[in-house]
């Protein structure tokens, strides 16, 4: 008689991603299907990443999850979709050393425990759901010996949170909106690997770590219903920008990359302003950063830095290389001087020490 006290577990790490052509708006709320393609860059795994351990044992009597040590509910449709989709693709798993043999059909009865940690503040508006759902889906797929290729897994992560599908790949990633009603073709594809343009340096200036007032899910729903600009953007602007951005990435054309990234961030925030009632994600400090960066780029005649802002006031600044990044840091320190007793690894922008 085999022992029932075994636990089998898998740990995975997944970085977050930053969109340079933004996703904003769904055409299907429950399957999470977007109204336009988007493109992102995946960060290095040592920064802003989620680590998730998924475990299975015959002694577990329900599925459970902990986030940063606190138990959270798995009852939402998003968690349930991810769990259901992964379970339905599970395969036999054998660990001879431990004397474990799980048959494909056993997975329907077995329960999982999932523990997830973010190495960054969850509430800081730094795309925690992207890394979180990508890591959840990936760790479960390894635990259950799911054999789907990464693109298919991305379509499952998408059902947890749209932007999560892009975190299944490193480097530059495109989320193809797809056109099938079942969403099977709405998935991520890698445009370029993490080594293709590894001179780029990404600096995140935490302007405020307060939780945002309007969640992305709610915000984009309101934009779809009320913003004429959003529909113009998704039909007329984004398709052309996607082609241009792919070209900029392929040829490592920083000037083109920076122009498109800044323009797309600004148009995304314009659609937020065009929403009724208007949504303000950026604050005065964000606006000051934009104007400093624009002035610098204009002064030099060619872009030195790209900026982009998501559903919050924090700035994501992208420099073409380490030299430009150090000049950028000098500028940030000049405009937002830290108090004299601050260690140089952290400084103050707006109301928050980072
Ligand atoms: C993006 N954002 O492309 C855009 C830009 C924020 C601004 O994806 O409802 O958390 O879970 O699909 O993915 C944030 O939205 O929304 C987001 P859901 P998600 O990165």
DSSP line for 180-204? -TT-TT-EEEEEE-TTTTTT-EEEE
Closest atom of ligand 1 relative to the 38 alpha carbon: 3
* 45 Cα to the center of ligand 1, angstroms: 20
Instruction: Say yes or no: 25 and 171 in one domain.
Output: yes
Instruction: Say yes or no: 173 and 276 in one domain.
Output: no
Q: What order do you get walking across the sheet with 38-42 strand by strand?
A: 17-21, 38-42, 172-176, 187-192
Cα–Cα nearest to 108, from 94, 92, 90: 90
Instruction: Say yes or no: 17 and 130 in one domain.
Output: yes
The yes/no answer to whether this complex scores an ipTM above 0.95 is yes
Instruction: Say yes or no: 146 and 39 in one domain.
Output: yes
Average pLDDT over residues 327-354: 68
Instruction: Say yes or no: 186 and 208 in one domain.
Output: no
The number of folded domains in the chain is: 2
What are the residues facing 17 on neighbouring strands? Answer: 42
How far apart are alpha carbons 306 and 209 in whole angstroms?
22
In a domain, 348, yes or no: no
* 268 Cα to the center of ligand 1, angstroms: 11
Closest C-alpha residue for ligand 1 atom 4: 23
Parallel, antiparallel or unpaired: strands 64-67 and 111-118: parallel
Instruction: Say yes or no: 184 and 231 in one domain.
Output: no
Q: Tell me what pLDDT residue 125 has.
A: 62
pTM: 0.94
User: Which CATH number do you get for residue 130?
Assistant: 3.30.230.10
Question: CA-CA distances (angstroms) from residue 134 to 112, 160, 215?
Answer: 17, 8, 19
Average pLDDT over residues 120-140: 82
In a domain, 328, yes or no: yes
Q: Tell me what pLDDT residue 351 has.
A: 38
User: Which CATH number do you get for residue 266?
Assistant: 3.30.70.890
Among the candidates 140, 171, 192, a domain finishes at 192
Average pLDDT over residues 229-240: 98
Least confident window among 5-14, 126-135, 170-179: 126-135
In a domain, 41, yes or no: yes
Place of tokens 């930053």: 18
**pLDDT over threshold 90, residue 345:** no
* 188 Cα to the center of ligand 1, angstroms: 14
Q: Are 175 and 166 in contact (CB under 8 A)?
A: yes
In a domain, 225, yes or no: yes
Q: Tell me what pLDDT residue 347 has.
A: 45
Among the candidates 164, 192, 220, a domain finishes at 192
pLDDT digits (tens, 9 = 90+) for 163-182: 999 999 999 999 999 999 99
Element containing residue 239 per DSSP (H, E): helix 238-250
Instruction: Say yes or no: 62 and 184 in one domain.
Output: yes
Chain centroid to Cα 165, Å, comes to 8
Closest atom of ligand 1 relative to the 160 alpha carbon: 11
- If you average pLDDT over every residue of the chain, what do you get? 92
Place of tokens 């059902």: 159
Instruction: Say yes or no: 55 and 129 in one domain.
Output: yes
Average pLDDT over residues 114-124: 79
How far apart are alpha carbons 81 and 22 in whole angstroms?
24
Instruction: Say yes or no: 184 and 206 in one domain.
Output: no
Q: Tell me what pLDDT residue 331 has.
A: 95
Average pLDDT over residues 216-220: 96
What is the residue range of 18's domain?
8-192
Express as a percent the part of the chain with pLDDT over 70: 92
Among the candidates 168, 192, 216, a domain finishes at 192
**pLDDT over threshold 80, residue 353:** no
* 43 Cα to the center of ligand 1, angstroms: 16
Instruction: Say yes or no: 149 and 12 in one domain.
Output: yes
* 189 Cα to the center of ligand 1, angstroms: 17
Ligand 1 pocket mutation pick from 29, 31, 38, 127 by most atoms within 8 angstroms of CB: 127
- What residues does ligand 1 touch, defined as CB less than 6 Å away? 19, 22-24, 32, 38, 129, 161-163, 216-217, 310-311
Instruction: Say yes or no: 85 and 207 in one domain.
Output: no
Q: Are 135 and 13 in contact (CB under 8 A)?
A: yes
Residue 350 — pLDDT band, cuts 50, 70, 90? very low
In a domain, 341, yes or no: no
pLDDT digits (tens, 9 = 90+) for 32-87: 999 999 999 999 988 889 999 999 999 999 999 999 999 999 999 999 999 999 99
In a domain, 267, yes or no: yes
DSSP line for 94-115? EETTTTEEE-GGGGGT-EEEEE
In a domain, 339, yes or no: no
* 26 Cα to the center of ligand 1, angstroms: 10
Instruction: Say yes or no: 286 and 173 in one domain.
Output: no
Closest C-alpha residue for ligand 1 atom 20: 19
Closest atom of ligand 1 relative to the 34 alpha carbon: 12
- Longest Cα pair distance anywhere in the chain, in angstroms? 77
In a domain, 347, yes or no: no
* 116 Cα to the center of ligand 1, angstroms: 20
């Amino acid at each position: 008689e085999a022992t029932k006290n075994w636990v089998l577990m898998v740990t995975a790490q997944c970085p977050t991603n930053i969109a340079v052509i933004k996703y904003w708006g769904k055409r299907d709320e429950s399957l999470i299907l977007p109204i336009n393609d988007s493109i992102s860059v995946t960060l290095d795994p040592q920064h802003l990443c989620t680590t998730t351990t998924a475990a299975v044992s015959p002694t577990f009597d329900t599925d459970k999850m902990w986030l940063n040590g606190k138990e959270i509910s798995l009852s939402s449709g998003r968690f349930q979709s991810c769990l259901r989709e992964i379970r339905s693709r599970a395969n036999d798993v054998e660990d001879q050393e431990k004397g474990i043999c799980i048959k494909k059909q056993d997975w329907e009865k077995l329960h999982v425990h999932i523990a997830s940690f973010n190495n960054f503040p969850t509430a800081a508006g730094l795309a925690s759901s992207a890394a979180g759902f990508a890591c959840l889906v990936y760790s479960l797929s390894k635990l259950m010996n799911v054999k789907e290729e990464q693109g298919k897994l991305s379509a499952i992560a998408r059902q947890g949170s749209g932007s999560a599908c892009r975190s299944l790949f490193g480097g530059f990633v495109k989320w193809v909106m797809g056109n099938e009603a079942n969403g099977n073709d709405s998935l991520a594809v890698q445009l370029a690997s993490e080594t293709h343009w590894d001179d780029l340096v990404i600096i995140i200036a935490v302007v405020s770590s307060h939780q945002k007032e309007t969640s992305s899910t709610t915000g984009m729903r309101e934009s779809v219903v009320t913003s004429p600009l959003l529909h113009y953007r998704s039909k007329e602007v984004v398709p052309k920008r996607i082609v241009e951005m792919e070209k900029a990435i392929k040829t490592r054309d920083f000037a083109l990359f920076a122009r498109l990234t800044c323009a797309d961030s600004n148009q995304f925030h314009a659609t937020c302003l065009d929403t009724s009632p208007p949504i303000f994600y950026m604050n005065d400090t964000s606006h000051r950063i934009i104007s400093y960066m624009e002035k610098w780029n204009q002064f030099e005649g060619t872009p030195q830095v790209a900026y982009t802002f998501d559903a919050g006031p924090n700035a994501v600044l992208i420099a073409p290389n380490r030299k430009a990044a150090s000049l950028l840091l000098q500028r940030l320190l000049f405009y937002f001087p830290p108090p004299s007793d601050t260690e140089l690894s952290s400084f103050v922008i707006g109301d928050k020490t980072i």
